Structure 1
Amino acid sequence: MSLETPRLVQMANAIRALSMDAVQAANSGHPGMPMGMADVATVLWSEYLKHDLDAPDWADRDRFVLSAGHGSMLAYA
């Protein structure tokens, strides 16, 4: 199942907004990477990664490893 482009754009913009808000609230962090990678994260999670929000301990789920610590807000947004 594929999401329409306007929906993906809306989701990516939500990630950007959440990232900015979280960095501002923490008065710490780097918003550049999460904002720049929002489109990539949106497509990965909505189109490619196997996951189930209702079963976070599902053994067969895909894992996403982000090695850029300064961009960790992307995973939390």
Structure 2
Amino acid sequence: MSSRQHLANAIRALSMDGVQQANSGHPGAPMGMADIAEVLWRSHLNHNPANPEWADRDRFVLSNGHGSMLIYSLLHLAGYELSID
């Protein structure tokens, strides 16, 4: 299994756990979008967890709020200081 697959699976696992723990949300969106989100965040978006206020960073907007665990999982795995407890 490639590192990309491992990261996508980690996104899925974190998203499922977060939705279950919150007893709210929808795990289908983050699970279905994990592969494309991983590629987008690792290979295309310009961001820096050490400088989250960087003015020239790219922005990622996810319009379906019920899939917000995707963003929380991505931020957590990318190294942003974010608790997903």
Q: TM-score, normalised by structure 2?
A: 0.83
- Which ranges of structure 2 fall in alignment gaps of 5 or more residues? 74-85
How many pairs were matched up? Answer: 73
Question: Aligned partners of 2:30, 2:51: CA distance in 1, in Å?
Answer: 25
Answering whether residue 18 of structure 2 is matched by residue 22 of structure 1, we say: yes
Answering whether residue 50 of structure 2 is matched by residue 50 of structure 1, we say: no
Percent identical pairs in the alignment equals 67
Q: CA deviation at 1:27?
A: 1.1
Q: CA deviation at 1:6?
A: 0.3
Q: Which residue of 2 aligns with 1:62?
A: 58
Q: CA deviation at 1:70?
A: 1.2
Q: Which has the larger radius of gyration?
A: 1
Question: Aligned partners of 2:65, 2:58: CA distance in 1, in Å?
Answer: 20
Question: Aligned partners of 1:29, 1:57: CA distance in 2, in Å?
Answer: 28
Equivalences for 1:26-41 in 2 at 5 Å? 26-41=22-37
Amino acid at match of 2:32: G
Question: Aligned partners of 2:2, 2:9: CA distance in 1, in Å?
Answer: 11
Aligned structure 1 segments of 4 or more residues deviating by more than 6 angstroms: none
Question: Aligned partners of 2:62, 2:71: CA distance in 1, in Å?
Answer: 8
CA-to-partner distance for each residue in 1:38-71, whole Å, 9 max, x for gaps? 0011000000000011000000000000111111
